[in-house]
Structure 1
Amino acid sequence: MTPDTSAATSADMIHDRIPEIARDWHREGRGAALATVVETWGSAPRQAGSQLAISGKGEIMGSVSGGCVEGAVVVEALEAMEDGTPRLLTFGVSDDTAFSVGLACGGTIRVLVEPVGKAMPLSMLDAIVDARAARKPIAYGITPDRWERRLLSPADLPDRFRSDRSGMEETGEFVALFNPPLRMLIVGAVHIAQALVPMARLAGYDPVLIDPRDAFASEERFPGTVIRHDWPDEGLLAEGLDARTAVVTLTHDTKLDDPAILEALKSDIFYLGCLGSTRTHAKRLERLRDAGVPEDQIARIHAPVGLDIGAKSPAEIAVSILAQITQVLRRG
């Protein structure tokens, strides 16, 4: 089922497609430059890796600040497109100016500006866009003092990819990460899922609900949600399982949860959480061992699901689940 995407969500999706937009503008002959936040100090509004695309006509998409330096970046980008020279810009936001653009106090921002096809090779931008389309993590490394560039994989900087952390290396190389969007595949259209789906979306996940029971997994109960009425293991396979995916099983029904768990454990998803009491989980472990699942794989399961915060209501349990997923994503 295709979700009825709101205007706000559409805007968020556009702002996450900055490399694609820059490439499209370049291919259309409009000219394009990419501006990327390299470093920040103080109360900076955007983190390292944030990007702004600028066309040769002065069109922009994305952001490198709260609006306080975009105008100056656009001017520099237009000049860079003319002379083909990249720039590393430094902007200071005073305490007096900071409040008007939404900051508590001043800060400093360094922004890299690269004209596409002249400084930034089109082949590298193509590789980044293609990797994003295929949900393959990739990073762009550049050493500003020599303008050396390279593409990187998770094998090169595993900690950065795991923590989604663009930034400067001690070697002087800036690394801009392009991780695939986070996804949460939720098995079981239960009350907890009704709270977890919107929370996941707010936290930046693309949630997908999997439940073969039409009465439970309905548009009325889950408006604007992608729903798969497949058997859970088939639904997971159809969506695809990778290192940017979290799986949560909530049906409390072994016929539905167990096939999903077995399929999830074959993949490299970063999180697998399963609803159920300690006794329920103990029985689950017996079934998994009987099925021949190795202990190191069984140890990947978070159960009872969620951080122990004393949650009682479905919404509180959903909070605990999302908190645990965030903890595993950011801390490993």
Structure 2
Amino acid sequence: MSDDGSSPRRLVVVFESAVAEAMLRLAVEVGFQSVLVEPDETRLRGTPRPHGDLFVHDLTAAHLDGHTDVVLSDHHRPEIGVVLKEALAAETRWIGILGKPSIEGPHVKMLRDLSVPEDQIARVHRPIGLDIGSKTPAEIAIATLAGLIADRNNRPGGFF
């Protein structure tokens, strides 16, 4: 879906982490409303600091729509399949999950086990972001946001 400008762009980052914190902090600077979703309160690393507009415990409260980009900041959580199925059902603009490009993400099997159709599974981007050799949480956040901005602006990203 393309962003026609009639609604604010929203970045929903699922799973509290160092990458999520950096992404949410920077997202505000590049024009996103930012939402942190952490479904498991026991996993919070202290007081959540989303640096944005909202902190919630489920995707429903994040108000997903066609102007929303969803990024899962952890590829090892057991709730990935359920979270992605809900994000796909909401017809979000863009969905991605962090992970190593050299292996198939565990989200694929999780979604298949939940009977999600292959065309919907294919909507989940992985790897995400621009390939800039990111290693630190802040670098991963920058690469991810740059990729989202390129996608939002119908650009391939990378160098000119």
Whether the TM-score (by the shorter chain) exceeds 0.5 is yes
Comparing both chains, which one has the higher relative contact order based on Cα–Cα distances under 8 Å and sequence gaps of 6 or more?
2
Task: Work out the CA distance in 2 between the residues paired with 1:247 and 1:217.
Answer: 23
Aligned length: 152
Pick from 48, 54, 58 the counterpart of residue 226 of structure 1. 54
Deviation, structure 1 residue 201: 0.4
Aligned counterparts, 1:80-99, within 5 A: none
Task: Work out the CA distance in 2 between the residues paired with 1:304 and 1:200.
Answer: 19
TM-score by length of 1: 0.42
Match of 1:186 in 2: 13
Unaligned runs of 5+ in 1: 1-157, 165-177
Deviation, structure 1 residue 223: 5.1
2:67·2:93 contact (CA, 8 Å) conserved in 1?
A: yes
SS in structure 1 at match of 2:27 = helix
For the pair shown, the structure with the greater C-alpha radius of gyration is 1
| Counterpart check, 1:275 vs 2:89 | no
Match of 1:216 in 2: 45
Pick from 26, 29, 41 the counterpart of residue 202 of structure 1. 29
Unaligned runs of 5+ in 2: 156-160
- In structure 2, relative to structure 1, the CA distance for the partners of 1:181 and 1:202 (3 Å cut) is same
Deviation, structure 1 residue 163: 5.2
2:28·2:52 contact (CA, 8 Å) conserved in 1?
A: no
Task: Work out the CA distance in 2 between the residues paired with 1:312 and 1:182.
Answer: 27
| Counterpart check, 1:326 vs 2:141 | no
Q: Percent identity?
A: 34
SS in structure 2 at match of 1:207 = strand
Task: Work out the CA distance in 2 between the residues paired with 1:247 and 1:204.
Answer: 15
- In structure 2, relative to structure 1, the CA distance for the partners of 1:189 and 1:254 (3 Å cut) is closer
Pick from 290, 297, 302 the counterpart of residue 113 of structure 2. 290
TM-score by length of 2: 0.83
Task: Work out the CA distance in 1 between the residues paired with 2:13 and 2:134.
Answer: 19
SS in structure 1 at match of 2:78 = helix
Higher strand share: 1
Match of 2:158 in 1: none
The Cα RMSD (Å) is: 2.2
SS in structure 2 at match of 1:198 = helix
